[in-house]
């Protein structure tokens, strides 16, 4: 039977509590499950990893590939609405689920986010009204495209059009020879070459949009990446110039509206040294840079994801505390000799405003996101002091 929205908290459908589904069992799915369960929904997770962080805490877990037809039918039978926590789930699977259940975000929006060439084209169209364009770029889909690359795009960054994240599938190139070698090294797959720009900092904006077009946003986040992976997010008054923050918010809203997007969307930006704003990429889901919202806002990005999926009202969130989030990568646990080291959690948690979130992953690996640590405080100076103290204790480079 088709799902009737809104799907209210505490609903009982066919003699069982209403269940929400999620494709993907990573930490983002885990935090979605926590938010859904706090409102009284049951949850079902589909993921190929039986030890997935979200699958371990969900009411029901389907261990299967994202394209498994039987698993998708079971997910649609159990869940009354379905979302995703990972942009690289097959868009075709979302489209198949949408034949039976409400799905947010829609398959087409996810498909655009999965393909940098389509994503850049969407950003360029939106820039006609928002004024925020992507970096100058060229699509490289065949060998002949290499020769057509304008000289102005070098030096640049070559990025695989599909399946790249956390710095994977990228190479910095200076000459045409390096460009050709990097493209061949990536398997001669479709790529985009972006002009290397002088960056001052990076930021991101998270919005949530309902099926009725209602849209709310979270504060603009200032981000620091290291080796292509988010290292720290700072969110407090004055983290960015007010005009830059407003321009980023407006551009993100335009991007969501032009997609007719439903759900939580994060858009990342570069702030150039001359103050200009450049749109980088989007994630059709909650985002690492929004994890602080669990502890520093009266509605988290995961609360908004649940509300948008279930058709509940979206209320503009309020940030009540200055916040800094530190990513905790598996490198912190590695002792350099092939073993593991203990981390000084007692000392870290003795610092005021510390909020530790570990994701339940059983194996620490270099570059693997094992958890995050958020600090909240009444003001920027206090939150920076405490987060820098924690970074020193953990062996994280100061920022």
| CATH number, position 176 | 3.30.1490.20
Per-residue pLDDT of 1-53, as tens digits, reads 678 999 999 999 888 899 999 999 999 999 999 999 999 999 999 999 999 99
Q: What tokens does 162 get?
A: 């599909």
Range of the domain at 62: 12-103
CATH number at residue 91: 3.40.50.20
Regarding whether 387 and 302 lie in a shared domain, the answer is yes
* Residue 342 forms part of a structural domain: yes
Residue linked to tokens 């990573």? 26
Task: Give the whole-angstrom CA distance, residue 191 versus residue 245.
Answer: 30
3-state secondary structure of 139: strand
Peptide bond into 105 cis (omega under 30): yes
Regarding whether 188 and 144 lie in a shared domain, the answer is yes
Regarding whether 77 and 185 lie in a shared domain, the answer is no
* Nearest-5° Cα angle at 207, 54 to 85: 20
Q: How many domains does the chain contain in total?
A: 3
* Residue 331 forms part of a structural domain: yes
Q: What is the pLDDT of residue 336?
A: 85
Task: Give the whole-angstrom CA distance, residue 311 versus residue 358.
Answer: 30
The residues that bridge with 159 in the sheet, in sequence order, are 170, 192
* Residue 131 forms part of a structural domain: no
pLDDT bin (cut points 50, 70, 90) of residue 186 is very high
* Residue 121 forms part of a structural domain: no
Regarding whether 228 and 161 lie in a shared domain, the answer is no
Count Cα atoms within 13 angstroms, Cβ side, for 305.
Answer: 33
* Residue 321 forms part of a structural domain: yes
Regarding whether 271 and 347 lie in a shared domain, the answer is yes
* Residue 2 forms part of a structural domain: no
Regarding whether 288 and 209 lie in a shared domain, the answer is yes
Regarding whether 352 and 258 lie in a shared domain, the answer is yes
Regarding whether 191 and 211 lie in a shared domain, the answer is no
Regarding whether 385 and 255 lie in a shared domain, the answer is yes
Q: Strand ranges (DSSP E) for the chain?
A: 12-13, 16-17, 19-23, 42-47, 60-63, 81-84, 137-140, 156-160, 170-173, 191-195, 199-209, 215-217, 221-226, 229-235, 263-272, 277-283, 322-329, 354-358, 369-377
Regarding whether 376 and 247 lie in a shared domain, the answer is yes
Regarding whether 183 and 203 lie in a shared domain, the answer is no
Rounded to an integer, the average pLDDT of 296-307 is 98
Task: Give the whole-angstrom CA distance, residue 201 versus residue 122.
Answer: 23
Q: What is the pLDDT of residue 164?
A: 67
SS (H, E, C) 228-287: CEEEEEEECCCCCCHHHHHHHHHHHHHHHHHCCCCEEEEEEEEEECCCCEEEEEEECCCC
């Amino acid at each position: 039977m088709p799902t009737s929205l809104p799907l209210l908290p505490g609903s009982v459908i066919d003699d069982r509590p209403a269940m929400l589904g999620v494709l993907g069992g990573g930490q983002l799915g885990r935090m979605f499950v926590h938010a859904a369960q706090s409102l009284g929904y049951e949850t079902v997770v589909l993921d190929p990893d039986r030890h997935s962080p979200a699958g371990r805490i969900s009411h029901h877990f389907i261990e299967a590939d994202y394209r498994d037809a039987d698993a998708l039918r079971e997910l649609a039978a159990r869940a009354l609405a379905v979302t995703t926590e990972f942009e690289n789930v097959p868009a075709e699977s979302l489209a198949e689920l949408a034949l039976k259940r409400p799905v947010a975000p829609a398959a087409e929006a996810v498909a655009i986010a999965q393909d940098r060439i389509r994503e850049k084209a969407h950003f360029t169209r939106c820039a006609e009204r928002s004024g925020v364009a992507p970096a100058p770029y060229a699509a490289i889909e065949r060998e002949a495209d290499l020769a057509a690359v304008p000289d102005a795009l070098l030096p640049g960054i070559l990025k695989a059009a599909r399946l790249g994240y956390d710095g994977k599938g990228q190479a910095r190139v200076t000459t045409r020879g390096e460009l050709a070698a990097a493209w061949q090294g990536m398997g001669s797959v479709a790529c985009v070459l972006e002009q290397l720009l002088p960056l001052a900092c990076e930021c991101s904006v998270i919005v949530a949009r309902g099926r009725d077009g209602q849209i709310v946003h979270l504060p603009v986040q200032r981000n620091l990446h290291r080796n292509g992976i988010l290292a720290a997010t700072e969110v407090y008054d004055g983290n960015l110039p007010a005009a830059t923050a407003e321009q980023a918010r407006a551009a993100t809203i335009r991007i969501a509206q032009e997609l007719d997007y439903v759900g939580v969307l994060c858009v990342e930006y570069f702030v150039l040294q001359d103050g200009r704003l450049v749109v980088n990429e989007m994630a059709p889901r909650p985002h690492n840079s929004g994890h602080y919202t669990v502890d520093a806002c009266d509605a988290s990005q995961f609360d908004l994801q649940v509300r948008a999926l279930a058709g509940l009202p979206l209320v503009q969130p309020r940030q009540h505390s200055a916040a800094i989030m530190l990513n905790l990568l598996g490198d912190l646990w590695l002792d350099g000799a092939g073993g593991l080291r203990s981390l000084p959690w007692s000392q870290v948690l003795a610092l005021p405003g510390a909020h530790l979130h570990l994701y339940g992953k059983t194996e620490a690996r270099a570059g693997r996101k094992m958890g995050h640590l958020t600090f909240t405080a009444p003001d920027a100076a206090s939150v920076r002091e405490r987060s820098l103290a924690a970074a020193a204790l953990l062996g994280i480079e100061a920022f």
